[in-house]
Amino acid sequence: MGIVAHVDAGKTSLTERLLYAAGVIDRVGRVDDGNTQTDSMDLERKRGITIRSAVVSFALGDLPVNLIDTPGHSDFIAEVERALSVLDGAVLVLSAVEGVQPQTRLLMRTLRRLRIPTLLFVNKIDRVGARYDELLADIRRLLTPSAVPMETVTDLGTRPAGVEPLPVQRPELAEILAERNDSFLESYLEGAAVDQAAELRRQVATAEVHPVYFGSAMTGTGVPELIEGIRTWLPRATGVPGDQLRARVFKVERGAAGQKIASARVVSGTLAARTPVAVHPVDGPEYQVRPSGVEVFANGARQPIERVEAGQIVALRGLKSIRIGDQLGVPTTQVGRLFAPPTLETVVSARDRVKLFQALTQLAEQDPLIRVRKAGELTVSLYGEVQKEVIASLLESEYGVQVSFSETTPIHVERLNGVGAAMRDITEGPWAAGVGFRVSPGSDGLEYELEVELGGLPRAFHTAIEETVRQTLHQGLFGWEIPDIRVALTHTAYDSAGTVAADFRRLVPLILLQAIAEAGTTVLEPVNHFELDVPPDTISRILAHVAEHRGVVTQATDTHLEGTIPAATTHPFESQLPTLTHGEGLLTTTFHSYIPVATEPPIRPRTDGNPLNEKQYVLHLNQS
């Protein structure tokens, strides 16, 4: 089960309450005191925010629960994405005061799309300004039309706030259930006895209906009721132990002695220590490993175990090359990207470059979105400024490397302007290979098509060509990635006596980029959607401030603005808000889209020896 929410809604506090209720801890820790179970990193304790997902486990009566407490800050959305790929159920937390926030909407949309059974927990009912009816209306309008309150609240907005259960067998609930099930509707209309609880359980399991609980992670009110809700409505994990092993790695960390520890969710089958398992990496060929140790999460700690079964989350030791997203046993289809990729990057420098590179590479294992790029200088991609601070302090505390960053800049992308084609035959170049490509604009990643006979070329060469096409697309005409494109392989040639895969790997970038050059590309910049709440007396100043930062307002009242703003100007815009709004401005941004840059397109330094210039490229290959 996962706990997800907008930043500061109270996920970690609620996790602490659940652990306490389950008897795992005998004192409730507080985020504000830096002593909770799941915010265990120094930096999390110091800053009072969650940075990495953490797994804890406990039993709610006879129900064993593995819980993942996730970060809410939008800079760490990648952590949530990984957790979502292994969940059977979720609790989406909202604050009764702040209500539905941008990240709440993004998460609910994703949970519904993935059909993950979800309960809503409206937290902080003890705080001044807590709302009930109005908030329920917001939930129905903005999150899910089929939200079902399970309780009413007494003394709302005061410390003694409490909850009163609503009956499950009630007409309002029957109507919601009937909307989604015709046979239930019929029986209900006929006045037959209908089991609303059973129907509710079924519709929660299919993520059609979402029960809403209320409470306070601060006072503990409503937590027993939420626990009962989890036990009653969320479906229990089913996994067939006799089946073949299927497991997915969603977290990689390093233990005290630097050894890798991988957390994986076992979907089916069993997994045992010192027994070989097949690893299917995100990219690259399958290989076999023997985990030296297998541990499960139990009662707040990891415990070694000989064999784990379906449904459990395990920690695996001794897997040196394991990465987040890898699958164990029999692979299933990858979940694909749920949220937008990072749109910012920064150059990192340190006195000891070798040490910095090693440290960053290790960090990138724990967080694949720390994409390290070596083009003379080292750059990492980012979701935002908080992440930058986190990387700096991790590098210092865990690796003893002091770093400085350049200013954060947006990661642009390139889009094709039209169609282009290029080909070279085997007789024409320095390599014993021939290829031809036709490229055209795409809308959904790389769409790779074969317009040649598959059998006309050995399999290994086809693989080499396709892999090289993917790599080449990381750097378009201006050095930026081309994410959406259709590439057709129109010609191949080889010499059965002399051709090796490397011939194709060298030739493909040259010819593919020729085809792309013929099509031409446009450089696009990332743009964010923003929501901004400000005091009414500051609105005119704020509107000018938005315009100065190339923002576009699409909706406005005298205290609330919505619109778009380039990623490039988002941080400078935000950093001046406190002064402009007497510290009361509240901004949230989420990725919106890419738009063409209005000025001269920025050029990114290449790392590929520049296949756009054949002489230079051949020279580069000969040197490396």
Helix or strand (DSSP H, E) at 541: helix 539-548
- Of residues 11 and 124, the one with the C-beta less far from Mg ion: 11
The answer to whether the beta carbons of residues 213 and 226 sit under 8 Å apart is yes
The 8-class DSSP code of residue 29 comes to -
- 103 binding Mg ion? (CB under 5 A): no
Q: How far is the CB of 158 from ligand GTP (least distance, A)?
A: 11
Q: Pseudo-torsion of CA 106, 112, 118, 122, nearest 10°?
A: 40
What is the size of the binding site for Mg ion (CB under 5 A)? Answer: 3
Pick what 218 binds: Mg ion, ligand GTP, none; C-beta below 5 to 8 Å, kind-dependent: ligand GTP
Helix or strand (DSSP H, E) at 357: helix 353-366
Q: How far is the CB of 159 from ligand GTP (least distance, A)?
A: 9
- Of residues 93 and 308, the one with the C-beta less far from ligand GTP: 93
- Sign of the alpha-carbon dihedral angle for 366, 371, 373, 378: negative
- Of residues 218 and 413, the one with the C-beta less far from ligand GTP: 218
Alpha carbon distance 571, 568 (integer Å): 7
Q: What is the amino acid identity at position 562? A: E
Please identify, among the stretches 46-54, 236-244, 254-262, 429-437, the one whose residues bind Mg ion according to the rule CB under 5 A: 46-54
- Of residues 30 and 355, the one with the C-beta less far from ligand GTP: 30
Alpha carbon distance 232, 201 (integer Å): 8
Q: How far is the CB of 148 from ligand GTP (least distance, A)?
A: 21
- Of residues 103 and 492, the one with the C-beta less far from ligand GTP: 103
Report the DSSP beta bridge partners of residue 413.
481, 524
Q: How far is the CB of 308 from Mg ion (least distance, A)?
A: 27
Q: How far is the CB of 269 from Mg ion (least distance, A)?
A: 32
- Of residues 127 and 280, the one with the C-beta less far from ligand GTP: 127
List Cα–Cα distances, 110 to 80, 90, 345, in angstroms. 11, 12, 25
Q: What is the DSSP string of 257-322?
A: TS-EEEEEEEEESEEETTS-EEEE-SSS--EEE--SEEEEEETTEEEE-SEEETT-EEEEES-TT-
- Of residues 68 and 148, the one with the C-beta less far from Mg ion: 68
Pick what 216 binds: ligand GTP, Mg ion, none; C-beta below 5 to 8 Å, kind-dependent: ligand GTP
Please identify, among the stretches 48-56, 294-302, 428-436, 572-580, the one whose residues bind Mg ion according to the rule CB under 5 A: 48-56
Determine the residue with CB nearest ligand GTP: 72
Q: How far is the CB of 50 from ligand GTP (least distance, A)?
A: 3
Interacting residue with Mg ion among 50, 95, 103, 221 (CB under 5 A): 50
- Of residues 101 and 569, the one with the C-beta less far from ligand GTP: 101
Q: How far is the CB of 478 from ligand GTP (least distance, A)?
A: 37
DSSP alpha helix (H) spans, 60-101: 77-84
- 73 binding Mg ion? (CB under 5 A): no
Helix or strand (DSSP H, E) at 564: strand 560-566
Q: Which of 263, 252, 272, 245 is nearest to 331 (CA)?
A: 245
Kindly list the residues in this chain that would bind ligand GTP in the complex (CB under 6 A).
Answer: 5, 7-13, 31-32, 49-50, 71-73, 123-124, 126-127, 216-218
Q: How far is the CB of 69 from ligand GTP (least distance, A)?
A: 7
Pick what 462 binds: Mg ion, ligand GTP, none; C-beta below 5 to 8 Å, kind-dependent: none
- Of residues 32 and 164, the one with the C-beta less far from ligand GTP: 32
Pick what 217 binds: ligand GTP, Mg ion, none; C-beta below 5 to 8 Å, kind-dependent: ligand GTP
Alpha carbon distance 596, 604 (integer Å): 16
Pick what 73 binds: ligand GTP, Mg ion, none; C-beta below 5 to 8 Å, kind-dependent: ligand GTP
Maximum Cα interatomic distance, the chain, rounded to a whole number of Å: 84
Write the binding mask 191 to 230 for Mg ion: x where contact by CB under 5 A, - elsewhere.
----------------------------------------
580: helix, strand or coil: helix
Instruction: Residue 484: count other Cβ atoms within 10 Å of its Cβ.
Output: 18
Q: How far is the CB of 389 from ligand GTP (least distance, A)?
A: 14
- Of residues 98 and 525, the one with the C-beta less far from ligand GTP: 98
Q: Which residues contact 148 (CB under 8 A, 6 or more apart)?
A: 173, 176, 200, 209, 210, 211, 212
Interacting residue with Mg ion among 3, 4, 11, 525 (CB under 5 A): 11
Q: How far is the CB of 439 from Mg ion (least distance, A)?
A: 45
- Of residues 95 and 492, the one with the C-beta less far from ligand GTP: 95
Q: How far is the CB of 20 from ligand GTP (least distance, A)?
A: 13
Q: How far is the CB of 345 from ligand GTP (least distance, A)?
A: 24
Q: How far is the CB of 8 from ligand GTP (least distance, A)?
A: 4
Pick what 124 binds: ligand GTP, Mg ion, none; C-beta below 5 to 8 Å, kind-dependent: ligand GTP
Report the DSSP beta bridge partners of residue 448.
487
Q: What is the DSSP string of 435-503?
A: EEEEEEE-SSSEEEEE-S-GGGS-HHHHHHHHHHHHHHTTS-TTSSB--SEEEEEEEEEE-TTT--HHH
Integer Rg of the chain from CA? 27
Alpha carbon distance 101, 119 (integer Å): 17
- Residue 311 falls in which region: left (phi positive, over 0), alpha (psi -120 to 50) or beta: left
The 8-class DSSP code of residue 56 comes to E
The answer to whether the beta carbons of residues 125 and 157 sit under 8 Å apart is yes
- Of residues 76 and 184, the one with the C-beta less far from ligand GTP: 76
Interacting residue with Mg ion among 12, 312, 327, 475 (CB under 5 A): 12
Please identify, among the stretches 50-58, 121-129, 462-470, 556-564, the one whose residues bind Mg ion according to the rule CB under 5 A: 50-58
- Of residues 218 and 487, the one with the C-beta less far from ligand GTP: 218
State the residues that interact with Mg ion by CB under 5 A. 11-12, 50
